[in-house]
Amino acid sequence: MEEPNPLKIFENDPSSVININDGKLPPQAIDLEEAVIGAMLIDEKGVDEVIEILIPEVFYKKSHQLIFESIERLFRNSEPIDLLTVSADLKKNKTLKNIGGEYYLIELSQKVSSSAHIEFHARIIQQKFIQRKLIKISNEVIQKAYNESTDVIDLLDEAESKLYDITQGHLKKSSVSAEDLVREAKRKIDEISKQEGLSGVSSGFDKLDKLTSGWQPSDLIIVASRPGMGKTALALSMARNMAITHKVPVAFFSLEMSSIQLITRLISAETGLKSDLLRTGKLAEHEWQQLNNQISGLESAPLFIDDTPSLTIFELRAKARRLVSSNDIKVIIIDYLQLMNLGSSTKTGNREQEISIISRNLKALAKELNIPVIALSQLSRAVETRSGSKRPILSDLRESGAIEQDADIVSFIYRPEYYGMENWDDDMQTPSQGQAEFIVAKHRNGALGKIRLKFSAELGKFEDIDSYDSPFEFQSKLNKSDQEKLDDKDDMPF
């Protein structure tokens, strides 16, 4: 019996014929692209409305991308935008023929009569672009998911990172010209010159803020010390200053203490009630009143605490992105770096390598979210075994492989009282009781220095030292060549 010919089946059954229209086209809105480009050509007000919304890549048609690039160039150079100027610019850049010549520009300008509704149309074009991006990302994820050698955790992180970029509107070019960067830098410098106060997020400590100009966006800040020096207390004091005093949203990731323990310590610092009283609950009536009256600021503070134990770097990045997206977080604090891990799928077998990867990822996270990331870190026992000064130095960083390299700022906490020393090692032998030294030992974009702070062990709280508390004045101008001097007590006037 003769085998049926599939082609004849299609010929005899019109319903089974495949039509090109049955295929799938990428999401697009060519008619709206034409309307938006045409409106910008005839009305410069339309350019002002959408120039910050659109980028060349959102246009589906290549000719529209080239025309928009031309309009962008003219706009940046403060030149008039119309048929003649755009045509001349395209001709100058040898792309006029690629878009269909002057005739196509004239044709676009005749498709609209004004720039009415141009922003609405631009938003639809942007939506179509986002749909195309989502399709592309999904296809890439599907292909990689079928690959048996793909690390699932890495794939999840990559997918979430790309989706986060879309939700944040990071639809920008992978590279930027020097001209654009210089213009952006000048704009930021101009903004800083006009604004009062700091260029970054205030730590709440005046002398430290003068040294750093506040914690800067995209910086990784390491705060390290030996156990018991007060790392968590300092981090909580900074979180309190940021969230309560300055109303800056803060995310605090605690891998060591529970969220209730942390908030209890914050209550103690805020109310002045000793921690042991709060732990036992044995408060007198006036202390209950003091508690109720002084925690309102803490209750309304934009502070978000996550106490997930054994947090992986992947989980941290995922949680951080969601917190930034949903709560506009401006600072992330991690307590502490050595308690983090990579997850079972990416074990290296070498703890120093793991810490190196975690450190590198924290720096990448700070850059991606464009906010400061403050990570607490342990110091090695070398401090304890060293004869002479116990003041920490960079080589004391535990498993320091990449921490020192990746961090923009490396700082230490040092309390002579911890080692039974009653006085500072300065010329005046200043009493050290209830005081700590915050040492900025590496500062990629600024000066180094040592700043003394008041420390209350009973309240777990760091504060500025008032002028009458100590004759100490921090040295604000140290250049990086003075790095070694930080480790030599005789070289510092304090």
pLDDT in tens, 106-135: 988 888 888 888 888 888 998 899 899 888
Confidence of residue 493 (pLDDT cuts 50, 70, 90): very low
Residues 249 and 330: beta-carbon distance below 8 Å: yes
Structure tokens at 258: 């529970």
What pLDDT score was predicted for residue 490?
Answer: 40
Distance CA 1, CA 60 (A): 52
Query: What does the pLDDT average to over 204-226?
Result: 88
Q: In which element (H, E) is residue 119 found?
A: helix 118-146
Ranges 10-19, 180-189, 190-199, 485-494: which has the least confidence? 485-494
**Residue 116, pLDDT score:** 84
pLDDT above 50 (res 147): yes
Mean pLDDT of 373-396: 81
Contacts (Cβ under 8 Å, ≥6 apart) of 220: 359, 362, 363, 366, 372, 373, 375, 406, 407, 408, 409
Last residue of a domain, one of 121, 149, 179: 121
The answer to whether residue 23 sits within a structural domain is no
**86 inside domain:** yes
AA letter at 241? N
486: confidence class by pLDDT, cuts 50, 70, 90: very low
Model pLDDT, residue 73: 85
Residue type, 101: G
Model pLDDT, residue 18:
53
Structure tokens at 269: 């610092």
pLDDT beyond 90 at 332: yes
Q: Is residue 20 part of a domain?
A: no
Domain boundary pick from 85, 102, 121: 121
The sign of the dihedral angle between the CA atoms of 456, 457, 461, 463 is positive
CATH number, domain with residue 74: 1.10.860.10
Report the chain's mean pLDDT, rounded to a whole number. 78
β-pairing, 250-254 vs 303-306, is parallel
* Pairwise pLDDT comparison (266 vs 3), residue with the higher score: 266
Tokens linked to 147: 């690959």
pTM of this structure: 0.65
Above pLDDT 90, what percent of the chain?
A: 6
Q: Are 342 and 154 in contact (CB under 8 A)?
A: no
pLDDT at site 181: 66
| Domain-ending residue, one of 121, 136, 153 | 121
Task: Identify the H or E element spanning 254.
Answer: strand 250-254
CA 119 from chain centre, in angstroms, equals 30
Residue 398: per-residue pLDDT: 63
Higher pLDDT, 253 or 16: 253
Tell me, rounded to whole angstroms, the distance of Cα 71 from its chain centroid. 32
Which sequence positions are flagged as catalytic? 256
Secondary structure class of 210 (helix, strand, coil): helix
In a domain, 388, yes or no: yes
Quick: pLDDT tens for 425-480: 776 777 878 888 898 988 888 888 888 888 888 788 888 886 434 433 333 334 44
When divided into structural domains, the chain yields a total of 2
Domain co-membership, 107 together with 236: no
d(CA 10, CA 173): 47
Q: Is residue 61 a part of any domain in this protein?
A: yes
The CATH number that applies at residue 270 is 3.40.50.300
Residue 160 lies in a domain: no
Q: How confident is the model at residue 376 (pLDDT cuts 50, 70, 90)?
A: very high
Average of per-residue pLDDT across 91-117: 88
For residue 150, give the H/E element and its range.
none
Helix, strand or coil, per DSSP, at residue 316: helix
Q: Are residues 117 and 239 in the same domain?
A: no
Q: How confident is residue 423, by pLDDT bands cut at 50, 70 and 90?
A: confident
State whether 114 and 205 are in the same domain: no
Give the pLDDT score at 100. Answer: 87
The confidence score (pLDDT) of residue 169 equals 59
Range of the domain at 351: 200-279+293-491
Select the more confidently predicted residue: 259 or 469. 259
The answer on pLDDT for 489 being more than 60 is no
